[in-house]
Amino acid sequence: MALARMTRLPASAALPYALRRDNEGAAAREAALAAFLASRTRTTVGRVLEKATRVATHKRPATALKGVAATDWFRLDTKDDVTVKWYPQGLSCGSDAGLASPAAFAISWYWRPAPSVEPQRGIRVSFLNVATLRYAHVLLVEPDAAGEPVPINVHAGGLVWYKNLLYVPDTTGGLRVFDLRNLCVGGPFDYPYTLPQSDVWSCDRALGARFSFASLDRGADPVLLVSGEYLTSGTGRVVRWALDADGSLAADETGTAVPVDAYTGPGSKIQGAASYKGRWYFSQSGLAGANDRLLTTAPGEAVRERMYPKGPEDLTVWRGKSTVWTIAEKPGGRVILGVPL
């Protein structure tokens, strides 16, 4: 695949990505959330990490990575590694959230059941305790008017964990927000934990913006939220938003959040992007052979290529280790791995 230099776009190119908070529906949304929480027991991410029972593996044999120069890598348990019902997509880490201990990852998944055989389960997030290698699944839901949990049928192609909030991309709709202070014990389909949607930021679908993945730029001051487009051909865009002190999108008096900048990406089939201290990192899929690739560049510079596992998805930067991480989605090869920045 041909690669192109990143170019900063004019401000008008970011306008399709403008997001508006649904203030008119806020009262109904808050009432539904309150009804959902009324009969449930809340918990915390810390307790989830302490009590997690699924077990990941640390540092699989290097041959499993097919030559990728990883500093660390993990693999989920066998059931999650090979299932064709759930596919991992988004990746964020405790470093993004400002969580000092324990070191942790959060992984988003989307449900792909056999047609007309199993009910829709929507999306989930797994929290992995790096120290203990234990992890647990949390089902994400949208409360209906009666406070009942409804699965959210989106692709969840990215994930940002910042302070108390999780941001999940809705490919053609914008960003969905989940407040971790509303994390509850128990849930549908025998899930041990449930997290209800607390907010939504919507784009104008007619303008054709795509929210395929997301990450956090902790190298910027103030911190920026990043999102971008996956396109099967042509070059997608990446854009960045300012965040308020509480982690929410910075918006004007009309409730509209406009990106602070926008760039062209390096090529097609970009699955994830992260920016850190002026440099950009992109995961690219769809190459022939045993490996895909990690691309590194800065606006105006030539793009450098590095070997990556097949099916790389979202990216996140672990600042304390100076590494960039991805998760591979292919069943039987679901490695979470970090390489040096």
Q: Which pLDDT does position 241 carry in this prediction?
A: 95
Residue 101 backbone phi and psi in degrees, to 5? -155, 140
> Radius of gyration over alpha carbons of the chain, in Å?
19
Q: Which pLDDT does position 25 carry in this prediction?
A: 79
Residue 259: both structure tokens together: 């990106």
Q: Mark residue 66 as left, alpha or beta (left: phi above 0; alpha: psi -120 to 50; beta: remaining).
A: left
pTM of the model: 0.95
DSSP string computed for 18-29: -EEE--TTHHHH
Encoded amino acid at 56, one letter: A
Give residue limits of the domains in the chain.
17-340
Q: Are strands 193-202 and 134-143 parallel, antiparallel or unpaired?
A: parallel
Fold of 17-340: Neuraminidase (2.120.10)
Q: Which pLDDT does position 240 carry in this prediction?
A: 97
Q: Is the peptide bond before 102 cis (omega within 30 degrees of 0)?
A: yes
CA 42/CA 299 separation, integer angstroms: 45
The owner of tokens 């120069």 is 69
Q: Which pLDDT does position 184 carry in this prediction?
A: 97
CA 336/CA 91 separation, integer angstroms: 9
Give the contacts of 17 (CB within 8 A, at least 6 positions apart): 203, 209, 227, 237, 239, 258, 259, 262
166-218 pLDDT per residue, tens? 999 999 999 999 999 999 999 999 999 999 999 999 999 999 999 999 999 99
Q: Which pLDDT does position 61 carry in this prediction?
A: 53
Regions of the chain with pLDDT less than 70: 1, 60-64, 115-116
CA 251/CA 248 separation, integer angstroms: 9
